[in-house]
């Protein structure tokens, strides 16, 4: 499978959200929330943007504290991580103001422990440095953040990631698959994956394995009828290609 970045509709909506945050009126409202179910490409898409924007990408942990966040940010920015939390915050603030480095916090739910103490520290840094902060979380994180008015008032944009469209899957198959796939088979990839881009990639890899075994360069639904291309771990059932109509 080719290693390329696929610009899906979720990507386009995310980029539009980033542009809106960067053009905001209130300087302190520099936070953006990205949320959605697992497998919709949140971390992958935001990570791609972070690399292009030279942003710092951090992943919150279950035991995150304000100091823990500051130390991880310092290491990412190559700032001396020693000293008190106040001393560390001052050094980081100086560096972030100087570089205007955006900050991404993945699995942001873990920053909400202890009355959102870690996220409050993120907010404080964002307020003072006036930099963009992107928070990535699961479906219910918006409701959780809404309980903290000081935080929710700083969120300028919210982007919900949704299942990939058939057009997204068509583009992914065209860009990534090293075998030809008919429109009917692409539609099956979309159905089997449920629009989860993570699963789309796994299904494409499965199709490529079957093609290699059979020595085929192009596949149709008829070549894969009944073949299990994925697995539903909740129902413990295989996700197989359905028979073509009329058979």
Higher pLDDT, 96 or 23: 96
CB atoms within 10 A of CB 151: 21
Q: Rounded CA gap, 245 and 247, in Å?
A: 6
Summarize pLDDT for 179-232 with one digit per residue, the tens.
999 999 999 999 999 999 999 999 999 999 999 999 999 999 999 998 888 887
Amino acid 240: pLDDT: 85
Q: Rounded CA gap, 92 and 213, in Å?
A: 54
Q: Pick from 10, 36, 24: which is nearest to 127 by CA? A: 24
Q: How confident is the model at residue 246 (pLDDT cuts 50, 70, 90)?
A: very low
| Token reading at 148 | 């903290």
Summarize pLDDT for 65-96 with one digit per residue, the tens.
999 999 999 999 999 999 999 999 999 999 99
Amino acid 178: pLDDT: 96
DSSP state of 216: -
Amino acid 5: pLDDT: 96
Q: Which residue has the tokens 């995310």?
A: 14
In this predicted structure, the answer to whether residue 23 has a pLDDT above a threshold of 70 is yes
pTM of the model: 0.90
Angle at CA 231, nearest 5°, toward 229 and 237?
115
- Per residue in 205-230, is it b (16+ CB within 10 Å) or e — as a string? ebbbebbeeeeeeebbbebbeebebb
What lies within 8 Å, CB to CB, of 199 at 6+ separation is 39, 192, 193, 230
Dihedral sign, Cα of residue 212, residue 214, residue 169, residue 201: negative
| Token reading at 23 | 């053009």
Q: Rounded CA gap, 188 and 3, in Å?
A: 22
Summarize pLDDT for 104-151 with one digit per residue, the tens.
999 999 999 999 999 999 999 999 999 999 999 998 999 999 999 989
Q: Which domains does the chain have, with CATH numbers?
A: 9-160 (3.40.50.300), 166-240 (1.10.8)
Q: Do residues 105 and 60 lie in contact, with contact meaning Cβ atoms separated by under 8 Å?
A: yes
Q: How confident is the model at residue 239 (pLDDT cuts 50, 70, 90)?
A: confident
Report the C-alpha dihedral over residues 138, 163, 12, 16, rounded to 10 degrees.
Answer: -40
Q: How confident is the model at residue 238 (pLDDT cuts 50, 70, 90)?
A: confident
- Per residue in 159-180, is it b (16+ CB within 10 Å) or e — as a string? bebebbeeebbbbbbeebbebe
Q: Do residues 95 and 125 lie in contact, with contact meaning Cβ atoms separated by under 8 Å?
A: no
| Token reading at 209 | 């394995």
Q: How confident is the model at residue 247 (pLDDT cuts 50, 70, 90)?
A: very low
What number is the average pLDDT over the span 157-173? 96
């Amino acid at each position: 499978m080719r290693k390329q970045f696929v610009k899906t509709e979720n990507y386009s909506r995310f980029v539009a959200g980033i542009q809106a945050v960067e053009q905001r009126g209130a300087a302190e409202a520099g936070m953006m929330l990205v949320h959605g179910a697992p497998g919709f490409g949140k971390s992958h898409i935001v990570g791609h943007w972070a690399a292009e924007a030279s942003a710092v990408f951090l992943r919150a942990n279950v035991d995150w504290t304000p100091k823990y966040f500051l130390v991880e940010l310092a290491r990412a920015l190559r700032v001396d991580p020693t000293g008190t939390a106040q001393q560390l915050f001052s050094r980081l603030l100086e560096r972030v103001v100087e570089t205007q480095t955006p900050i991404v916090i993945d699995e942001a739910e873990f920053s909400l422990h202890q009355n959102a103490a870690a996220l409050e520290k993120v907010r404080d840094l964002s307020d003072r440095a006036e930099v963009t902060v992107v928070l990535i979380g699961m479906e219910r994180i918006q409701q959780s953040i809404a309980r903290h008015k000081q935080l929710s008032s700083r969120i300028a944009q919210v982007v919900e990631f949704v299942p990939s469209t058939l057009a997204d899957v068509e583009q992914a198959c065209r860009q990534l698959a090293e075998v030809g796939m008919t429109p009917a088979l692409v539609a099956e990839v979309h159905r089997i994956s449920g629009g989860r881009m993570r699963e789309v990639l796994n299904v494409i890899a499965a199709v490529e394995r079957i093609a290699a075994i059979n020595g085929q360069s192009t596949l149709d639904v008829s070549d894969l009828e009944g073949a299990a291309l994925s697995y539903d771990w909740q129902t413990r059932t295989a996700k197989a290609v359905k028979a073509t109509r009329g058979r």
